[in-house]
Chain A
Amino acid sequence: NAGVMQNPRHLVRRRGQEARLRCSPVKGHSHVYWYRQLPEEGLKFMVYLQKENIIDESGMPKERFSAEFPKEGPSILRIQQVVRGDSAAYFCASSPRTGGYNEQFFGPGTRLTVL
């Protein structure tokens, strides 16, 4: 019974390159959340997606960041033209969203380092 999977676990990019982070939710979960954890800080909400829909992107930086959750395949968080300030741990969580309260199950995270 696999949990949330994220890959890669560690990603190193040079300034100006693109970073692509992948998240495979728990089987059967149709809702995905992305959070960012900057060094020495708590997690901050970025975006909430349902398959083929962005539900809430209020935490996403206005430029360079995008997210998708296609009908088939993992959810992708894309960061274009990375800068040093993008260095952080990026966590994905999934939930079944069946009504009432739905627990979020977190993946192990992708640690992005921008040189």
Chain B
Amino acid sequence: AQSVTQLDSQVPVFEEAPVELRCNYSSSVSVYLFWYVQYPNQGLQLLLKYLSGSTLVKGINGFEAEFNKSQTSFHLRKPSVHISDTAEYFCAVSLFGNEKLTFGTGTRLTIIP
């Protein structure tokens, strides 16, 4: 069975500073990888996904992530954060041919003005 680990439950960052949110996964087979964002009292919105091909994936709102197969990681980065990036971020995986998502426990990103 696959699993996802998000080591940082909370990450405070000053506005306009860079940020990295860490995600590691475990699976015996190939997976698809995702980052979702959840704003307060809202549903999840897909930020970006890795299906195949280039290991550097660009998403919405200036976010990007890099798939590292040897380290089984899919860390999310943004070079300069904005107050509006304050939200909960979830890393998730699914298996090829099975779209059931397995989520990490989330990282709460707080932007400090």
Contacts and interface: CB of A to CB of B under 8 A. Distances in A.
Are A and B part of the same complex? yes
A43 B44 contact: yes
10 contacts: A33-B99, A33-B100, A42-B6, A42-B90, A43-B103, A44-B103, A45-B100, A45-B101, A106-B44, A108-B41
B43 A101 contact: no
A35 B101 contact: yes
B45 to A, nearest CB: 7
Interface of A: 4, 33, 35, 40-45, 48, 56, 59, 91, 93, 95, 97, 101-104, 106-109, 111
Interface string B35-51: 01000011111100101
Interface of B is mostly: strand
Interface residues of B, number: 21
A48 B99 CA distance: 9
A56 B100 contact: yes
B99 A95 contact: yes
A4 B46 CA distance: 14
Given A43-B101, A97-B99, A106-B43, 4 more contacts: A41-B105, A45-B101, A106-B44, A106-B45
B35 to A, nearest CB: 12
Nearest to A56: B100
Nearest to B106: A42
A107 B99 CA distance: 17
B102 A109 contact: no
Given A43-B101, A45-B100, A102-B99, A91 B44 contact: yes
Interface string B50-71: 0100000000000000000000
Contacts of B6: 42
B110 to A, nearest CB: 15
